[in-house]
Structure 1
Amino acid sequence: MHRLRCFALCATLLCPSPLLAATVFRCEDPGGHITFTLQGCSEAQDLQLHRAHNPTPGSGQPVPLAQTGKTTRTRSQAKPSAPLVVGEQGDGCGNRVTGSARRTAMIRQQVLAGMTRSDVESALGKPDKISTQNGRTRYHYRDREGSSRQISFDDAGCVKGKP
């Protein structure tokens, strides 16, 4: 029986009742240092009382964290009439192949002029052989039937178009 009473006492002490509102003392010393406390302020500090209301989640209406105000637009903030392009991602090949055409070619396992080496490897896989001559690279592919295919790249690493 003694253990049961001890357990009940410990459970009561460990489960504090929720504080929904409290009075908080705002103490400011002559140096401007501000302290918030529940115990009160010393005689040398300036005292102000604040009521802190901390509702539990879901206990009623939402409490706004900040008051929103109407913004005004000045002349310097006016929207520009034409779109402004700050930066554009380049693929090193002059962006000759658009994103949708590149994806379609990769799905169909086709190679278009202006694709990069990584685009070709994404479409056809790793080459069977790579040859380099005068700084220009060629990928050699051989399929199961024995037919071969060569893809030539220029100095920038872009697929060359047919002359």
Structure 2
Amino acid sequence: MQGRHFAALLAAALLSPIADTSAASVFRCVSADGHVTFTRHGCASDQDVHLQDARNPTPSSGETIPLADPARRAMTAPANTGELVIVGQQDDGCGNLLNASERRQAIIRKEVRRGMSRADVENSLGKPDRVTASNGQQRYHYREQRKGGNSRQVSFDEAGCVKK
């Protein structure tokens, strides 16, 4: 008898309306340096706290969801200060004379071009047969494997970049 009551209770619990589990309150924590963190457990005392409503209603539930307010997102263009700022440019140490595509093409074609590094030359031509140095400048010497083959020298400046 007790087993039947337990089964009936379990069935009633499973079939009862379940609370909307897709709704939750999320804290948006902003630190003094501007780092934003979203958490359900609250923010540290030194952070600005904003309560976010994170509801995700099921499709065709009849609830309308307001879209972003375009007036709120409108930003004014900053005044032109005349200063040019380049963000994210990588310095290859050789004056950025070659872009990535030119460097890749030169390596594939086994060419040596001004602005390539020692590593680029080794990727293009392989390890040198001989290395010499004088006055802080290095030279890579390559010779062809055939008899009477040509030899080739690549000179590097103090920074390790090909000079021509």
Shorter-chain TM-score bucket reads 0.5 to 0.7
Q: Aligned partner of 2:160: which letter?
A: G
User: What amino acid does structure 2 have at the position aligned with 1:153?
Assistant: F
User: Match of 1:149?
Assistant: 152
- Mapping 1:124-163, distance limit 5 Å: 124-145=125-146, 147=149, 148-161=151-164
Match in the other structure for 2:71: 69
Equivalent-residue separation in structure 2 for 1:138 and 1:3 (angstroms): 90
2:117 aligned with 1:116, yes or no? yes
Q: Does 1:106 align with 2:125?
A: no
Q: Which amino acid aligns with 2:96?
A: N
Identity of aligned residues (%): 43
Q: 1:2 to 1:103 in 2, by over 3 A?
A: same
Assess, with a 3 A threshold, how the Cα gap between structure 1 residues 12 and 62 changes in structure 2: closer, same or farther: same
Rounded to whole Å, the distance in 2 between the matches of 1:15 and 1:129 is: 82
Write the distance in 2 (CA, Å) between the matches of 1:131 and 1:15.
Answer: 84
Q: CA deviation at 1:90?
A: 2.7
Match of 1:134, as an amino acid? N
Aligned residues: 128
What SS class does the counterpart of residue 142 from structure 2 fall into?
strand
Which consecutive unaligned segments of at least 5 residues does structure 1 have?
A: 21-51
Cα deviation for residue 112 of structure 1 reads: 0.7
Residue 133 of structure 2: SS of its match in structure 1? strand
Distance in structure 2 (CA, Å) of the matches to 1:7 and 1:57: 30
Could you say which structure has the larger radius of gyration?
1
1:5 Cα deviation (Å)? Answer: 6.4
If the length of structure 2 is used for normalisation, what is the TM-score? 0.54
User: Helix, strand or coil: the match of 2:71?
Assistant: coil
Q: What is the CA-CA distance between 1:159 and the residue it aligns to?
A: 0.7
Q: After TM superposition, give the deviation of residue 100 of structure 1 in Å.
A: 3.2
Alignment of structure 1 residues 25-104 onto 2, 5 Å: 56-60=57-61, 63-64=65-66, 67-70=69-72, 71=74, 73=76, 77-78=78-79, 80=80, 84-86=84-86, 88-104=89-105
Unaligned 5+ runs, structure 2: 21-52
Partner SS for 1:104: helix
Under a length normalisation based on structure 1, what TM-score does the superposition of the two structures give?
Answer: 0.54
